[in-house]
Amino acid sequence: MARVNIPTFKLNDGRDIPVLGYGTWLGMDEDFEFSAAGMPKMNEALSYAIDIGYRHIDTAHLYRMEPEVGKIVNKKIQDGVVKREELFITTKVWHHYHREADVEVSVRDSLRRLNLDYVDLVLMHWPMSISQEGVDEKIDYLETWRGFEIVQQKGLAKSIGVSNFNLDQMKRLLANCKVPPAVNQVEINLNLGQKDLVDFCSTHKVLTVAYSPFGTMVPSRSAPNSPEPKLNNPTMVAIAKKYGKTVTQVTLRYLYERGIITIPKTVTLSRVLENASIFDFNLDKDDIEKLAEFDNGYRTVRPIFWQDYENYPFDKVPGKMDIPEALRIWKNGMNLDID
């Protein structure tokens, strides 16, 4: 079986985090409904990922995958494939748990679903606080962060961080916390480079983790009128050919060379291997400059149903819709029956 060797970056709390992980968000359909139909393939792909050397797994309460991740991880540990301390497992706290005391409730529930004693990293999934009924609870994320500091003190999470925080929110959080976040997980890809945010985080020793690292490049994320590059973009194809790599490998390598961690998602075994086979070449200066030219601020993930809520982190665009039920109330696991 092929093996991959994924390097690590150092977190500001001294711990190591693999620079590339396996993302476990299955997504929702065009009607914003969630289906567990893809879980078997994702379970197979995650199992394979661990077998070939992946050690970083990214999940969340929202993803419904915590029970499945826990089963796979515990099986791999029992089978002697990997030791728990060799894995880096991230989960996230959803909108409903933003009161200081509720953060611990959420993390303990995640640990129960994962069947683990601790997670390596827990993130505040979004800076907004929204009830299951869709009510804006307007809880200050500084209060929520105090709950994160407590779960770290109790050893429930080794490291703590945030997700989807913009530059102003990061500045305010860093100015008002006892423990700085170890990471900020945000959308980063060739269209959305977020240079100012990444540079600020880097200056303050906060690592950036990129979700949706391919943006709308891949057919499954394609959107009407979305910008280049696509997989057949001539510039991308030429650069990939030059290094004997794929277009997506070039993309992941570019983000790695920017000091950004990526968590690409795939349920295709060959792509699990392909995504992690990016540590044997270096992009030259001219190619880096060409890739940077694709940055136009286009955002793939734009949840307009939250944009009128306090602490929404993105610029607002015309449009209105109700919060999908799948983002308010759900159960977890393959049968969607686990609280």
**Binding residue positions for substrate:** 125
Cα 203 to Cα 197: distance, rounded to the nearest angstrom: 10
Report the b/e string of 209-220 with b at 16+ CB within 10 A: bbbbbbbbbbee
Q: Is 22 helix (H, G, I), strand (E, B) or coil?
A: strand
Catalytic residue from among 22, 48, 63, 211: 63
Q: Which residues contact 4 (CB under 8 A, 6 or more apart)?
A: 52, 53, 54, 273, 276, 277
Report the b/e string of 128-140 with b at 16+ CB within 10 A: bbbeeebebeebe
Cα-trace Rg, the chain: 19
Cα 60 to Cα 121: distance, rounded to the nearest angstrom: 11
Q: Is 93 helix (H, G, I), strand (E, B) or coil?
A: strand
Residues pairing with 23 in the sheet: 58
Identify whether 298 is a catalytic site residue. no
Q: Is 89 helix (H, G, I), strand (E, B) or coil?
A: strand
Token match 């969607």: residue?
Answer: 336
- Catalytic residue positions? 63
